[in-house]
Amino acid sequence: MKKLIAIFFCLMLVPSIALAANVTFTWGSYTGTATEFRLYRSDTSGKYTYGTSSPDYIASFSPITRRSAVDMNVPSGTWYWVLTAYNSATRLESRPSNEVTTTIGP
């Protein structure tokens, strides 16, 4: 069974200060075999449920054409995010990127 190569992303967190905020993630160019990136959010560090039907799933997007993503209207609290790479041909999802976190609200 083929394995996806572990992919490390540089995510930049740009929170707004409010009761709900948009959080922007950016990364460098990508040359791997993934057909999409998947963004996940959790209220517990290190605890995510993966897959597009997961409650932690935020969005999927092309790794070739996109260099950023926005998680919109994130409620107040402390939140954690990871990014994975998914290959639709092999149906394999990579290990998650390094986790990033921020606290939104007062």
Answer for the pair 81, 100: CB distance below 8 angstroms, yes or no: yes
Residue 11 has pLDDT above 80, yes or no: no
Is residue 21 within 8 A of residue 79, CB to CB? The reply is: no
Residue 29 pLDDT level (bands cut at 50, 70, 90): confident
For the stretch 42-71, pLDDT in tens is 999 999 999 999 999 999 998 878 888 899
Whether the pTM exceeds 0.85: the reply is: no
* Cα dihedral sign, 56-50-54-46: negative
Complete domains list, the chain, with CATH: 20-104 (2.60.40.10)
Q: Is it the case that residue 28 has pLDDT exceeding 90?
A: no
Which one is predicted more confidently, 80 or 33?
A: 80
Asked if pLDDT for residue 13 goes beyond 50, the answer is no
> Which residues, at least 6 apart from 70, have a Cβ–Cβ distance to it below 8 Å?
22, 23, 24, 25
Q: What is the mean pLDDT of the chain?
A: 83
**pLDDT of amino acid 94:** 93
